[in-house]
């Protein structure tokens, strides 16, 4: 679950309101590494699973933000704007 303050996705999902299980990963590349974020929720009785792969995305938390935007829409039907999740 994303409830450990030392976890990579704690900032996005630590106090989310729905328990989220997640795993991050990095695929090494000769340039900027690729990033992977996979999650499902609720932890104890999953309804939704998400996998995000971002090429050359390891310098920021883009993959986690994409997953959070999808989770927000699924669980809370939030009308979100891209700028709330992504800073370029």
* Main-chain dihedrals φ then ψ at residue 27, nearest 5 degrees: -105, 115
What are the pLDDT digits (tens) for 24-46? 888 888 888 899 999 999 999 99
**Residue ranges in the chain modelled with pLDDT below 50:** 88
For the whole model, what pTM was predicted?
0.80
The pLDDT, as a whole number, for residue 1 is 57
Residue given tokens 């704690």 in the structure block: 10
The pLDDT, as a whole number, for residue 78 is 64
What value does the mean pLDDT of the chain take? 84
Structural domain boundaries in the chain? 10-81
The pLDDT, as a whole number, for residue 57 is 82
| Segment holding 84, helix H or strand E | none
């Amino acid at each position: 679950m994303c409830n450990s303050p030392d976890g990579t996705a704690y900032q996005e999902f630590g106090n989310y309101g729905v328990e989220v299980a997640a795993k991050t990963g990095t695929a090494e590349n000769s340039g900027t590494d690729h990033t992977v974020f996979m999650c499902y929720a609720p932890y104890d009785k999953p309804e939704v699973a998400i996998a995000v792969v971002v090429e050359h995305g390891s310098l920021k938390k883009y993959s986690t933000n994409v997953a959070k935007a999808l989770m927000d829409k699924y669980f809370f039907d939030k009308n979100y704007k891209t700028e709330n999740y992504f800073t370029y």
